[in-house]
Copies of this chain bind each other. A is one copy, B any other.
Amino acid sequence: MEQQKVTIKDVAELAGVSKSTVSRYLNNGYISAEKQAKVRKAIEKTGFQSNFFAKRLKTRESKLIGIVLPRMDSVTVGKLLSGITRVLEPEGYQSILLVSQLSQKKELESMQKLQQQGVDAILVDSVGLTAEHVRRAQEWGLPILYTGQKNSAVQCLKIDDAAAGHLMGVYLRQMGHKHAVFAGVTESDEAVGIERKEGFMAGFCEGRTDAKVEFVETGFDFLSAYNQAEEICKIAPSVVVGATDNISLGILRYFHERGVKVPEEISVAGFGGYDVGAVVYPALTTVAFDYELMGMKAASYLLNILRGEDAKLTNLDMPLLFVERESVQDLVKKTFPANTTSLPSMM
């Protein structure tokens, strides 16, 4: 077994001091100016780099945050990671990533791996919280934060899907729409599949009896939405709401191909506020989520806990931004949204 080139012992010998003194130099302990200089020189000359594992073995701190994500190639996840990294990096923490591939089982396994790995904290962008998730948050001695899903027994942070849905529902009601199709995803995703949809229905139907919402199930991607669009056409609502912008984009594409004019003949809206919603035509009206902010909040929370500040998460839900663009017709005033000449809501 080849050994490390330069150890603290070599530095100590070269500097004519003890290992302890070098260690103290490295960790801001008692050390005289004279020896300080000697040690510094010795470190420079040898190019000494302290051994990560030896250090961590004793200090029991890895400066590593474990992150479990449902997938890697998604705008949402990218933004989230971006926010997390922005907060963690200046504090000297690094993130180690595992992917759950949208599977609850793999999510739990990944958490286990990270814990064994000795990470200081775990952040899980969950696809669904189970009793096991709760148990771990309680039994493992390290901070765990869940995002994306909600459960009062654990610390979590998420988009308020019910409120987002409600916001959209109210908006469309006020725009005079009475018959909507909600193109949503499987109910096994509680946040998007249930909360968002029910929030929408509540907001849309509130205080009236002549409103009607029909449900069409699709996947999360363009293509599956595109493939369901024909069915939606048959229903012929005045507005179709995609549970995500991707879904709306697929539908928009289908309408374009069939020559169905949006929003003149039918309105379309979505959720997410992805950048691309601003470049398609008509630009997509949507409820925007700030995943980057969510990442920053999540990371800050974990950092606070690690500092022993015993922080509590207030404001569990993240702010929403309603982005009114061109894809929804105002049936009350009988006007179409202005064809914007700039891209104000590019986010």
Contacts and interface: CB of A to CB of B under 8 A. Distances in A.
Interface of A: 1-2, 49-54, 56-57, 60, 62, 64, 71-75, 77-79, 81-82, 85, 89, 94-99, 113, 115-118, 222-223, 226, 249-250, 252-253, 256-257, 275-276, 278-281, 292, 339-341, 343, 346
17 contacts: A1-B60, A49-B116, A51-B57, A51-B118, A52-B116, A53-B62, A54-B57, A72-B78, A75-B78, A82-B99, A89-B98, A94-B98, A222-B278, A226-B279, A257-B281, A280-B280, A280-B281
A82 B78 contact: no
A257 B51 contact: no
A343 B253 contact: yes
A253 B117 CA distance: 48
A82 B75 contact: no
Contacts of A75: 73, 75, 78
Nearest to A339: B257
Contacts of A1: 60
Nearest to A54: B57
Contacts of A253: 278-281, 343
A223 B279 CA distance: 9
Contacts of A64: 96
Contacts of A292: 73
A97 B117 contact: no
Nearest to A66: B94
